[in-house]
Amino acid sequence: MYKVKVYVTLRESVLDPQGKAVQQSLSSLGYNGVEDVRIGKYMELQFDDTVTDVEGTVKEVCEKLLSNPVIEDYRYEIEESAKQ
């Protein structure tokens, strides 16, 4: 069993209006030192033992569905996990 954590974020070159609004909100709360906020997505995938190439599969699903390469980057962490 593997637990995979996938982080999808907007590419650096892409403006993030949501992050910008949060940054402005933080600044109006008095947190002037927060220069920039970028908002992304966090996903957890649970793989069973039938998947032999976990890393290859993770890359594949990230590119096919979980992220849109036009505007987003992804990274992932793979952890071995015991059966629940």
Partner 1 sequence: MKFAVIVFPGSNCDVDMYHAVKDELGEQVDLVWHDVDNLDQYDGILLPGGFSYGDYLRSGAIAHMSNVMAAVKKAAEAGKPVLGVCNGFQILLESGLLPGAMLRNKNLKFICRTVELTVENNETMFTSLYEKGEKISIPVAHGEGNYYCDDETLAKLKENNQIAFTYASDVNGSLSDIAGITNEKGNVLGMMPHPERAVDDLLGSADGLKLFQSIVKHWRDSHVVNA
* Interacting residues toward partner 1 by CB under 8 A: 13-15, 17-18, 21, 65-66, 68, 70-71
Cβ nearer to partner 1, comparing 17 with 33: 17
CB atoms within 10 A of CB 40: 15
* Minimal distance, residue 47 CB to partner 1, in Å: 19
- Nearest-CA neighbor of 12 among 43, 44, 36? 36
For partner 1, the closer CB: 46 or 68: 68
Q: Which is nearer to partner 1, 65 or 82 (CB)?
A: 65
